[in-house]
Amino acid sequence: MLNRLKLTGILSAAALVLVGCGTSGSNESAVSEDGIKVVTTFYPMYDFAKNVVGDNGEVSVLLDAGQESHGYEPTPQDIAAIADADVFVYNSDEMETWVPSVLKSIESSDVIVVEAAENIALFELEEAAAAEEEHSDEEGETAHSVDPHVWLDPVYAQEEVNAILTGVLEADEANKESYEANATAFNEKLAELDAAYQTAFEAAENRTFVVQHAAFGYIARRYELTEVAVSDVSSDAEPNPAKLAELQQFMIDNQITTVYYSDSASSKTAQTLAEATGASLEVLSPLEGITDEDQEAGKDYLSVMEENLTALKKVIQ
């Protein structure tokens, strides 16, 4: 295995040298005949990569819609798939905390690794240290020290697309024009999405929203809104009774009549809060997974972001 991988590395290096010297007239690519093989971690990375790759190959995703994206543990099959891919795309060491050790274990693979949020300054969480101490004895939870949810910001999403494009070009220079055209077209749609959010919230007087999972900090910062979250950025864990009572009072004092929750996550706390304050429940998706059913029905990153905008407009107005 090791030898084969090393040999592949040497061969691609040789191919690069040939192309570089201009002695090779062919337009051959380093990827297999079936096209580029891209493995991604969770839904937004999959959607962004798919938009860049187009029909030049195959993009797959490791996490299913229902899987907890914050506390995920990779399977041996996941690790083999990453090692075998031309390009592997993940959001950040802060989101997929399991990635660095997996990459270390497959060092001999020549997979090109894209950390999509690498060039984005992630927001530090003031409460992270305290939360970590509080939750450190709970199993299956990953406490983040920064907010990893950059993909929900239509401007940062474009930077993630650009990072994916760079990795894909490194693997398959031969189809450069196609990848670049795909990325440009998708980034134009993301720019339109950003404009729609800006326009919708520009003149709003109510700018505060209450949500179960603290996934919308980047949207809040981008459009000058205030996110009040029931749980933290890492999970949907229930807050303690004191925090819940505080939230309840906050909603009453500020006449907040809507609680947002994620359709794929537990909504128990959001429900409790809604019942206690007479507020209604609305879905706001952190896009950490879209079921196969919904994908077949045509849902994707852009359409869910538009649904989120429609849902937010009920409060932010």
Q: Apex CA 222: angle with CA 316 and CA 169, to 5°?
A: 130
Site string for Zn ion, 201-240 (x = CB under 5 A): --------------x-------------------------
Q: How far is the CB of 276 from Zn ion (least distance, A)?
A: 24
What DSSP designation does 75 have? -
User: The tokens 């894209």 sit on which residue?
Assistant: 114
Q: Of the two residues 103 and 284, which places its CB atom closer to Zn ion in the complex?
A: 284
- Minimum Å distance from CB 213 to Zn ion? 6
Nearest to 194, CA basis, from 160, 222, 161, 226: 222
- As measured in angstroms, the least distance from the Cβ of 262 to Zn ion is 8
The answer to whether 299 touches 290, Cβ cutoff 8 Å, is yes
Q: Give me the least distance between CB of 8 and Zn ion, in Å please.
A: 36
Of 37 and 213, CB closest to Zn ion: 213
Residue 103 touches Zn ion, criterion: CB under 5 A: no
- Name 66's Cβ contacts closer than 8 Å, sequence gap at least 6: 264, 289, 291
Radius of gyration of the chain (CA): 21
- CA dist 278 → 134, 252, 256, 308 (Å): 30, 9, 10, 22
* CA 152 – CA 170 distance, rounded (Å): 26
Total number of residues shown for the chain = 317
Q: How far is CA 239 from CA 232, 236, 282, in A?
A: 9, 9, 20
Point out the residue whose Cβ comes nearest to Zn ion. 215
CB of 150 to Zn ion, least distance (A): 11
Shortest distance in whole angstroms from residue 14 CB to Zn ion? 43
Q: Which C-beta is closer to Zn ion: that of 168 or that of 211? A: 211
| Binding track, positions 162-201, relative to Zn ion; x by CB under 5 A | ----------------------------------------
* Count of residues interacting with Zn ion (CB under 5 A): 2
* Per-residue interface string for the shown chain with Zn ion, residues 268-287, x marking contact by CB under 5 A: ------------------x-
Note the residues at the interface with Zn ion (CB under 5 A): 215, 286
